[in-house]
Amino acid sequence: MLRFVIAFFLLSGCASKNPSPVFISGEYIPVIKESEKSVGESIIAKKIITLSDVITRTLKANKTIASARESITIATKEVKVSSARPDPAINIELEDFLGTGPYKGFSSSQVSISYSQTIELGAKRMRRIESSRHQVNLARYEYELTVQQTARDAALAFLDVLYLHNRLRLIVSQVKIARAVLGVLEEQVEAGKLAEIQPEKTRASLEMLLIEQRSVKKQIETASIYLASFWGAKTPDFEGVAGKWVIPASIPDLGNFIANIKKNTRVLKWLTLVALSGAKIKENKADSVPDVTLSAGYRFIKDGNDSAVVFGVSIPIPFNSSSKYKTDVARAQHKEAVTKQKEALWKLETEINQLYGDMSANYNMVKEYMSRVIPHLVKSLKGIQEGYRMRKFGYMELLDSRQTLQEVREKLLDISFAYHKAAIKLEFLSGKAVR
């Protein structure tokens, strides 16, 4: 059920005293702080959390999952309700009293005491039980789907926080470079080599970076609150996240993700609805069969001197029975369920195709950036750094080279983020791990 989450360790790092570093464009960047140890099965606040921490906390404490779990309990109890037989009844009848003539008082009254029992015909009880059992299966699939969707959303929320933290690091690096460039320009202005107006563009760029830095910090706060809400926390009980932006050496073919599509929870849910609607047709047909009520007892005749056995049979005449109309409704619902099951299968395959296209496109872009762009920029930066030490290049050339590399890293981070988002959604839909 949670294979798509557990297998998806493209982003997860193990919670330990030294969490896994974040991998950005060929360079390891240390994570923020150390983790704290958890105690027993309870959820303990940790300074740094990983994807596995997020999934564990969500499965333990998410309110939506808990509510879906209760639905199974309710549906299971409904099976017992459906299996109950009609209760018997004791009937007491007092006749021939408070009338006129000899029936003026109670002396001529007659008392009948009988026991009656309704006998259900048409296998009604069996049909009710069958429908209830399908309701239990439906509740289980609803629960499984809720768990999967909630775990997926929690993983995506974790991904957002991880992305924003790494974006903030890149902005901080760009701010340092912009300040260094501005410092060089200001020195040249003081030396009379540049006009006073020339550093203004760099100042504007620096201010834009600082505005973006403040905005991203605010976004981190908001995203962290949303992430913590998955396990019921009103405020973040963590200070940072740890994960790896790792791209696998290869990704499976599209066919691997579509192969088990008929075992998808959404499809199985609709198959259960088809079975349930079919059972409802049988149940309503059974309801159209009139039940028989048998009664037997004893009658005490006037003056209490004589008595006799009484026996009765009651059979309703279904002139105004709604069972026929209920059966028609059930048939229409069955037809709708069959149609929607086919629609769910078609939609699922369409979504998988679209997500696979997005994932593979971003995957190829990351690979090409890593193999065709980053090596040239790194080589250029190393050459300029060496040339700067040998006074062949100035400080501005060095800063420009670093800035270009930072911009490409930011672009690569965005592409990696898009790849991982598509991968998480694809694993959820298909049940197939990306690697």
Query: How far, in Å, CA of 57 to CA of 5, rounded?
Result: 13
Q: Do the Cβ atoms of 63 and 54 come closer than 8 Å?
A: no
* Other beta carbons less than 10 A from residue 430's beta carbon: 26
Fill in the DSSP letter of residue 47: S
Calculate helix-pair angle for 395-430, 374-389, nearest 10 degrees. Answer: 160
pLDDT at 117: 92
What's the CATH code of the domain at 315?
1.20.1600.10
pLDDT at 65: 94
Q: How open is the CA angle 246-248-252, to the nearest 5 degrees?
A: 145
How many domains, in total, are found in the chain?
A: 1
Cα 178–chain centre separation: 42
Strands 240-241 and 48-49: parallel
* Other beta carbons less than 10 A from residue 231's beta carbon: 19
pLDDT at 326: 81
Query: How far, in Å, CA of 290 to CA of 273, rounded?
Result: 28
What DSSP line would sit under 287-349, residue for residue?
HTSPPEEEEEEEEE-GGGT-EEEEEEEE----SS-SHHHHHHHHHHHHHHHHHHHHHHHHHHH
The length of the chain is: 435
Paired with 294 in beta bridges are 117, 313
Buried b (16+ CB within 10 A) or exposed e, 193-209: eeeeeebeebeebbeeb
Contacts of 316 (CB under 8 A, 6+ apart): 290, 291
User: For residue 170, is it within any domain?
Assistant: yes
State how far the alpha carbon of 403 is from the alpha carbons of 168, 256, 307, 357, in Å.
15, 41, 110, 32
SS3 string of 71-133? HHHHHHHHHHHHHCCCCCEEEEEEECCCCCHHHCCCCCCEEEEEEEEEECCCCHHHHHHHHHH
User: For residue 393, is it within any domain?
Assistant: yes
User: For residue 435, is it within any domain?
Assistant: no
User: For residue 58, is it within any domain?
Assistant: yes
Q: What is the mean pLDDT of each run of 10 residues along the chain (435 residues)?
A: 37 34 29 32 63 93 94 93 91 78 70 90 90 94 94 94 93 89 85 85 90 95 95 90 85 87 87 90 86 89 75 83 78 88 89 94 92 86 77 75 84 92 90 77
Query: How far, in Å, CA of 361 to CA of 365, rounded?
Result: 6
User: For residue 169, is it within any domain?
Assistant: yes
User: For residue 121, is it within any domain?
Assistant: yes
Calculate helix-pair angle for 124-190, 265-287, nearest 10 degrees. Answer: 150
Place of tokens 């932006």: 245
Residue whose C-alpha is closest to residue 258's, from 356, 189, 185, 184:
356
pLDDT at 325: 80
Fill in the DSSP letter of residue 262: G
Helix (H) or strand (E) holding 28: strand 27-29
The two three-digit tokens of residue 217, written as one number: 């910090």
User: For residue 338, is it within any domain?
Assistant: yes
pLDDT at 433: 79
Paired with 110 in beta bridges are 95
User: For residue 387, is it within any domain?
Assistant: yes
pLDDT at 26: 30
* Domain limits for position 17: 3-430
pLDDT at 321: 67
Contacts of 417 (CB under 8 A, 6+ apart): 159, 163
